[in-house]
């Protein structure tokens, strides 16, 4: 660009007496506009952060502190209000008999399971609830419902459960498991109702009578259970409502009875199916001066 071009460009500028003031005014206006934009952006970020924190707080309160209103036609309002920490009630139908096996019953966190066998128990009869609870950091409660009232019988953090009560009055006893653990638990066991406290009870034709000198033997158990994925093999004493874990391996089984009683031997598969094994059991009874082997 030569000097004549500079002169032409300079002459195109419109000079006024207030040029300097107008330039300063424009600069000041631009700064104010920019400052307002920054302020608006700053407050927007604050409101967004506050709203996010509020949503998180509400979700936390709803999850851990808010307990939805419970309803169950088996429970009175008073009993429902007493179930602190329970957010869900489930009713599970089981076989109506004097002896009912309960296999692989899952109980979710903060849930009450009601076992419904719709069977009337006479006053004075003995009711036994026994079995094994599986899970991490077990915290559960066992009780029953009678005439709308829930009665807590036992709180346990132990895997083994064995509770016996004498019916205080005639009626339908709905046994319950309440899970306060941090995770779901699983229950395997039985519910037994005996007519009075008789010395001998009819536990069925398939039970095995045994004492502490008795050994249960099953040969080639692998052939019997080869088509199943087995979780464990158990011996259940009907007389004392005690469950014994024999083995989790599919091998030849040999197990000595820990107490006298009437036994049922069975396997439980990974999917919760029960396989009765009494028909395959050989019973060996050994006394100090005598031995006997009895084939069933």
We report the CATH number of the domain holding residue 216 as 2.60.40
Angle at 149 between CA 143 and CA 151, to 5 degrees: 25
pLDDT at 23: 52
Do 220 and 154 lie in one domain? The reply is no
Last residue of a domain, one of 194, 223, 253: 194
Does 173 share its domain with 218? no
* Residue 263 resides in a domain: yes
Which residue intervals of 68-185 are DSSP H helices?
77-81
Instruction: Report the 10 Å Cβ neighbour count for 109.
Output: 16
Are 105 and 188 in contact by the 8 Å Cβ rule? The answer is: yes
> Which of the residues in the chain have pLDDT under 70?
1-55, 57-68, 194-205, 248-250, 287-296
Residues 116 and 158 in one domain: yes
Asked if 166 and 212 sit in the same domain, the reply is no
* pLDDT reported for residue 113: 94
Specify whether the CB–CB gap between 251 and 222 falls below 8 A. Answer: yes
Would you say residue 68 lies in a domain? Answer: no
Q: Which of 169, 194, 219 is the last residue before a domain boundary?
A: 194
Residue 278 in any domain: the answer is yes
Residue 205 confidence (pLDDT):
65
Domains contained in the chain, number:
2
For residues 247 and 214, give the distance between their C-alpha atoms in angstroms, rounded to a whole number. Answer: 17
List Cα–Cα distances, 239 to 179, 180, 197, 242, in angstroms. 28, 30, 11, 8
Residues 182, 214 within the same domain:
no
Q: What is the pLDDT of residue 220?
A: 82
| Residue 91: per-residue pLDDT | 92
178 plus 228 within the same structural domain: no
- Residue 255 belongs to some domain of the structure: yes
pLDDT for the residue numbered 291: 46
Beta bridge pairs of residue 80:
none
- Verify that 146 and 231 share a domain, yes or no: no
One domain for residues 112 and 139: yes
Residue 162 lies in a domain: yes
Does residue 108 lie in a domain region?
yes
Q: Taking the complete model, does pTM exceed 0.75, yes or no?
A: no
Is residue 56 situated within a structural domain?
Answer: no
Q: What's the pLDDT score for residue 141? A: 92
Position 214 in a domain: yes
Q: Look up the domain containing 85 and give its range.
A: 77-194
What CA–CA distance (Å, rounded) separates 91 from 116? Answer: 7
Claim to verify: residue 190 and residue 214 sit in the same structural domain: no
Q: Are residues 114 and 160 in the same domain?
A: yes
Task: Write out the two tokens for 101.
Answer: 């096996």
Shared domain for 177 and 216, answered yes or no, is no
Residues with Cβ within 8 Å of residue 274, at least 6 apart in sequence: 101, 103, 266, 267, 268
- Residue 204 gets the label, from left (phi > 0), alpha (psi -120 to 50) or beta, of left
Q: Output the domain CATH number for residue 186.
A: 2.60.120.380
**Chosen domain end from 144, 171, 194:** 194
Q: Are residues 104 and 141 in the same domain?
A: yes
> How far, in Å, CA of 202 to CA of 292, rounded?
25
- Measured CA to CA in angstroms, residue 185 lies from 3, 111, 133, 283, 293 at distances of 94, 10, 7, 35, 41
């Amino acid at each position: 660009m030569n000097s004549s071009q500079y002169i032409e460009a300079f002459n195109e500028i419109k000079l006024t007496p207030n040029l300097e003031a107008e330039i300063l005014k424009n600069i000041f206006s631009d700064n104010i506009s920019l400052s307002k934009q920054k302020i608006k952006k700053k407050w927007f970020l604050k409101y967004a952060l506050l709203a996010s924190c509020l949503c998180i707080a509400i979700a936390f309160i709803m999850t851990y502190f808010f307990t939805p209103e419970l309803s169950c036609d088996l429970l009175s309002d008073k009993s429902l209000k007493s179930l602190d920490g329970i957010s869900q009630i489930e009713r599970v139908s089981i076989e109506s008999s004097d002896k009912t096996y309960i296999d692989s019953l899952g109980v979710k966190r903060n849930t009450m399971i009601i076992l419904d066998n719709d069977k009337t128990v006479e006053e004075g009869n003995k009711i036994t609830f026994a079995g094994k609870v599986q899970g991490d950091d077990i915290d559960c409660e066992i009780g029953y419902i009678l005439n709308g009232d829930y009665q807590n019988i036992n709180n346990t953090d132990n895997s083994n459960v064995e509770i016996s009560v004498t019916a205080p009055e005639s009626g339908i006893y709905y046994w319950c498991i309440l899970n306060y653990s941090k995770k779901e638990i699983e229950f395997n066991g039985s519910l037994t109702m005996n007519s009075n406290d008789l010395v001998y009870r009819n536990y069925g034709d398939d039970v095995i009578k045994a004492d502490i000198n008795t050994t249960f033997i099953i040969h080639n158990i692998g052939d019997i259970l080869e088509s199943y994925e087995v979780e464990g093999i158990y011996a259940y004493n009907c007389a004392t409502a005690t469950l014994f874990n024999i083995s989790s391996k599919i091998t030849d089984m040999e197990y000595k009875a820990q107490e006298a009683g009437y036994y049922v031997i069975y396997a439980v598969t990974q999917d919760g199916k029960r396989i009765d094994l009494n028909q395959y059991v050989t019973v060996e009874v050994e006394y100090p001066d005598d031995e006997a082997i009895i084939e069933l």
